[in-house]
Structure 1
């Protein structure tokens, strides 16, 4: 086993650990660990809400989830010799839940999926599902099941939702301006258009005093993906993946977190993967001058891992860029994917699942989402593929009777007033 360079004690809060990570992006957050190109090492990662979400049958914790505290990132890791303009190579050697532990922390044999309330972050389908819902998933080996979404079982494609390098001061300033300009167009929108810097709840490693206050007031929130990688939530970044990250500061200052046991394309419930704490084994290297050499100026590129599960049969649903009210939009791929997901949810509800259960399933299971047509004016076409072998019943359309499942206790709900 590689040496664990960032160990975490499951019985302690994120801010009480031997090494304290961070939950903002800023070039002046000090590195916690230094590694060399060619090193392989283990990193423990905390579940993104640091234990706020419980293994119970209530969704009140989802409704009150403290967005100002996420994500709990392990790092930064300084890579010796890395310079701005280089490409940082990150290989995912292994990744999984918290090893050999059972307990109250997500990753200790279980994880969760949540539909966020519209008044607390919202989701991809927030207008149709404005309240908070939760599903707890139990892990058995590489598979998972849920008492809140019965009738399905699938193998997790375990992956980190978030990996990235630190921004330069110039890049951070660019992020804050463009996102602030967006917020200014509709400052009272619910959910918000973007999340501005928020000192309250900031965790900044070993920083203290006036320097902490300055960085906390400037640090970018970790919710969106950006030029440094960040919260991309790509379900295929699993064991065997190689990622090439642009380097913007000396040492790269790489960080990782937000592990998922599984996820559907798009993480459509926002808290959409099966969230958990766990471990990740990484190997790092550097391509000097790689950004200019390969034209990688403002994005990470990756080679996905070739790991199971591999599904062979799918049922696919399509959507176009027409609103639920019948308004035509021009090549709106985002809307088209929403409509495809809604069609899948409506279809699954005919078998006995509630629409909320179906929505939680699409966020957690390894569905495939695709932009299938983006040139045929005025309608973009998006599709969502459901793997058939995850279901206990045959969900294909037939001339016979429609099979039904017992929806069990259902998905816990909490209505936000």
Structure 2
């Protein structure tokens, strides 16, 4: 996923990271609007999980060390009321990744009490990652964390997203997409991290295919954009973003719905119902099905106005199932 980019080299290395959002974190680089920056990031476990790890590592996993952000970068000319425009130019993947069920974390945390870790071998020559025989997940890398410093004083966790961005876990922010973040402090103080190979809308088990990414981003100041009060983004056309072969292989999708007067419970029901479909029709264990819905399934609100009940769907693209 490389392209020719002519620019002066501005690099943020793996040692230049932080574990809290704060406007008191000192910038590691100062750039001009329109400069291109290369970020060398480490995966969301912050190195706690390696390609040789087993389920045992989940017992000692320290979530306070998770999702390190690399930076921050001070952008000259950025002032409160402006927007920072982040163009995603290039994302280079590692040759391995991981997905885990961490007890106490995830949409169905109360139903999955045992730790499970899956290590993925990512063949650079293949456009997909192999979940298991007969199930291929298309590679669509993106940074789960992209944010600027909050205007509020204090330190804020890396886990929940903020109006200034952060742990957005938005799978649409891949190469060719553009993210706009509201600037709340002078210089913006942009950071990024948490590389993913693939993820569904919702990331329901709490993790995607987590990996280390090398990211090339263009950072530009857009003046006087006070109406951008939270992250906004633009994606390329589907024709530009999806390989023609994948479009031709599109087999549609299968979805299970959840109906409830509580939107969160409707989402839980939809996820649970699709897991049962996978167990009954695809021969997966419940843990495997839960992880598969996290890396490839999409949660959608299909109805929100016919109160008191909401309708949520969890769908899977059927072209991930290959062979017979």
Which whole-Å CA distance do the structure 2 matches of 1:305 and 1:52 have between them? 34
Match of 1:317 among 223, 236, 256: 256
The answer on 1:354 being equivalent to 2:285 is yes
CA contact (8 A) 1:166 1:254 kept: yes
Question: Any idea what the Cα deviations from partners look like across 1:61-110, whole Å, max 9, x if unmatched?
Answer: 1232111112221100111111111011111011121xxxxxxxxx3x11
- Cα RMSD (Å): 1.7
TM-score w.r.t. length of structure 2: 0.90
Which whole-Å CA distance do the structure 2 matches of 1:226 and 1:290 have between them? 18
The CA deviation at 1:312 is 4.9
Match of 2:22 among 22, 26, 34: 26
The answer on 1:115 being equivalent to 2:94 is no
Question: Secondary structure of the residue that 1:75 maps to in structure 2?
Answer: strand
TM-score w.r.t. length of structure 1: 0.71
Name the structure 2 match of 1:251: 187
Aligned residues: 308
Which whole-Å CA distance do the structure 1 matches of 2:235 and 2:174 have between them? 7
CA contact (8 A) 2:87 2:217 kept: yes
Question: Secondary structure of the residue that 2:273 maps to in structure 1?
Answer: helix
Q: What is the 5 A alignment of 1:4-403?
A: 4-8=9-13, 17=15, 20-56=16-52, 58-97=54-93, 107=94, 109-118=95-104, 122-141=105-124, 142-146=127-131, 149-168=132-151, 171-172=152-153, 218-270=154-206, 272-291=207-226, 295-297=227-229, 299-306=230-237, 307-308=241-242, 310=247, 311-321=250-260, 330=261, 332-350=262-280, 351-365=282-296, 367-392=297-322
The CA deviation at 1:4 is 4.9
Question: Secondary structure of the residue that 1:386 maps to in structure 2?
Answer: strand
The CA deviation at 1:304 is 2.2
Question: Any idea what the Cα deviations from partners look like across 1:256-278, whole Å, max 9, x if unmatched?
Answer: 000100001111111x2111111
The CA deviation at 1:154 is 2.1
The CA deviation at 1:5 is 2.7
**In the superposition, relative to structure 1, how do residues 133 and 361 fare at CA in structure 2: closer, same or farther (>3 Å)?**
same
Question: Secondary structure of the residue that 2:220 maps to in structure 1?
Answer: strand
The CA deviation at 1:51 is 1.7
Which whole-Å CA distance do the structure 2 matches of 1:250 and 1:7 have between them? 20
Question: Any idea what the Cα deviations from partners look like across 1:336-357, whole Å, max 9, x if unmatched?
Answer: 1111111111011123210101
CA contact (8 A) 1:39 1:283 kept: yes
CA contact (8 A) 2:10 2:36 kept: no
| Stretches of structure 1 lacking an aligned partner (at least 5 in a row) | 9-13, 98-106, 173-217, 322-329, 395-417
**Which entry has the higher C-alpha Rg, 1 or 2?**
1
